[in-house]
A and B are shown apart, each in its own frame.
Chain A
Amino acid sequence: MPSNSKESWIFVRPVKGRHVEKEAVPLAKKVIHTTINGEAHTHEVEPRMLLIHYIRDIVGLTGSHVGCETSLCGACTVTVNEQAVKSCTMLAVQADGAEITTIEGLAQNGDLHPIQDGFWERHGLQCGFCTPGMIMAAHQLLTRNPNPTEDEIRHGLEGNLCRCTGYQHIVEAVQYAAEKMQG
């Protein structure tokens, strides 16, 4: 490599911040209150716990998936105060006081949400791993833009990766849902 070569892995971006020796005594936990899919929760968590691990391992809602763990794939997407976020890139303590919706919160009284219905009807999945995040991102998109163009759908889902479908059926699933949601 030439002498002016810099850190070459674009995902690995060092920041200032001193390396510290590990404390012998565990650091204080924090009590957090959240409302997840309409249900109130209170737990004591380590500050370093990521929101996705809180949702899956502490609350026990395993619909949201851990994919890349690097903010790229979107499998962990949930909404926090109605904003879609990658819950692998948020600390649980940051969600203290927040209203969270996960994939489990979309169906009402046993009826699939129109977006879930769209993925069913238009075959918007194959292995299904990306689907919960994909549906939550589509939910954000249709909340902001109830009648998106195909281009807007693709743009709205750019933070979610699917390695099976080639996206075409996912786009069609969202189009189906948009139509259905507008009655």
Chain B
Amino acid sequence: MIPGSFEYFAPTALDEALSLLQEHGDDAKVLAGGHSLIPTMKLRLAEPAVIIDIGRIGGLKGISESDGKLVIGALTTHHELESSDLVQQKVPLLAQTAAEIGDVQVRNKGTIGGSLAHADPAADWPAAILALDADLQIAGPNGERSVKATDFFQGLYETDLGDDEILTAIHVSIPDANTKGTYLKLHQVASGFALTGVAVVLTKSGDTCQSVAVGITGVSDAPYRASAVESELTGAALDAENIAAAAERSVDGIDALEDIHASQAYRQNLAKVYTRRAIESAAS
């Protein structure tokens, strides 16, 4: 399987990449690690006339701490997030999520920014990014803007990212010591994609849930925050009964996907079970 022909640019500066995007409009696709785009091009599901490889742009890669936040460059690979001491200490949920993606070779090359911009409905990052209430930094012809994760994902492979924009970084607030995160996933056995993936960020006050955020991927067209679960559990005692009752609401208002791997009813059930388990784990 060989991709269709395309014109290839490998800019070394962000400005240069943005001008190329402006010039070529929706004929162009941005290439990061390539682990979503290249497979779709090989299957000729995408045949962009122009590829803009942002892999050689300095400053889009790496993890740093600034003003109580982790700043993660869009070109940071899953492996770099999985193995970073800083990430493991400050936001272990990110390292845990990274470790669940694909396999070693995929994690070596695939990037967090590429995954988020591609917005596969079964990708892992969106669950964690939603639960952590991250901010996504986007560069475009009119400068930089920031968008909340909750506003970024809009549908099947659809995001808030414009055709002339590039996702440059992800900002994640470092949670306090009373806050714990968990990501639990059921792997589709052959592909490793999430049949269901649930990320929970939970803050306890004694045995009570002070606040909770639940991000769910793999279940619907677009990843989502399970707000019904969150409102049910906030302020409640973190006992088995309350957690189970809250988890029952994890697909409230959601049109669950159905495919050869899982029926709609099965996916709905998976979402509830994995939400319950993820909350139990974060609350323990």
Contact = CB atoms under 8 A, between A and B. Distances in A.
Interface of A: 1-2, 4-20, 22-23, 26-28, 30, 46-50, 53, 69-72, 74, 77, 83-86, 89-91, 93-94, 96, 137, 140-141, 156-160
B48 A70 contact: no
A48 B258 contact: no
Contacts of B188: 10
Given A16-B157, A47-B7, 20 more contacts: A5-B258, A6-B257, A6-B259, A10-B260, A12-B43, A13-B36, A13-B157, A17-B47, A18-B47, A30-B8, A48-B5, A48-B6, A70-B42, A71-B35, A74-B105, A84-B104, A90-B38, A140-B108, A158-B104, A159-B102
B3 interface: yes
Nearest to A7: B259
A46 B51 CA distance: 13
A10 B259 contact: yes
Contacts of B190: 10, 72
A46 to B, nearest CB: 7
28 contacts: A1-B258, A2-B264, A4-B255, A4-B257, A5-B259, A6-B156, A6-B258, A10-B190, A10-B193, A15-B45, A15-B118, A17-B48, A20-B48, A47-B6, A50-B3, A71-B102, A71-B106, A72-B191, A83-B108, A85-B108, A86-B105, A89-B38, A89-B39, A91-B31, A91-B53, A157-B104, A158-B103, A158-B104
Interface string B75-119: 000010000000000000000000000111110110000000010
Contacts of A72: 190-191
A58 to B, nearest CB: 14
Contacts of A23: 5
A18 B44 CA distance: 11
The 4 closest A-B pairs by CB, nearest first: A159-B103, A47-B8, A17-B46, A8-B259
A12 B44 CA distance: 10
**Chain A interface, >50% SS class:** loop
A159 B105 contact: yes
A4, A94, A140 pick with most chain B CB within 10 angstroms? A94
B167 interface: no
A20 B27 contact: yes
A98 B90 CA distance: 32
Interface of B: 1-8, 10, 26-27, 29, 31, 34-43, 45-49, 51, 53, 55, 79, 102-106, 108-109, 118, 120-122, 156-157, 188, 190-191, 193, 221, 255, 257-261, 264
B47 A28 contact: no
A74 to B, nearest CB: 6
Given A89-B109, A93-B8, A14 B157 contact: yes
A132 B29 CA distance: 33
Given A2-B264, A47-B7, A91-B38, A84 B108 contact: yes
B105 A77 contact: yes
A14 B45 CA distance: 5
Given A48-B3, A70-B39, A141-B104, A14 B46 contact: yes
Contacts of A85: 105, 108-109
Nearest to B26: A18
Given A10-B122, A72-B191, A15 B3 contact: no
Contact of A6 (B5, B8, B48, B221): B221
A103 B199 CA distance: 39
Nearest to B107: A159
Nearest to B77: A83
Contacts of A18: 26-27, 47-49
Contacts of A49: 2
B104 A137 contact: yes
Contacts of A30: 8
A48 to B, nearest CB: 5
Given A13-B36, A91-B34, A159-B104, A46 B5 contact: yes
A140 B104 contact: yes
Given A4-B255, A5-B259, A27-B5, A13 B34 contact: no
Contacts of B34: 89-91, 94
A16 to B, nearest CB: 6
A9 B45 CA distance: 13
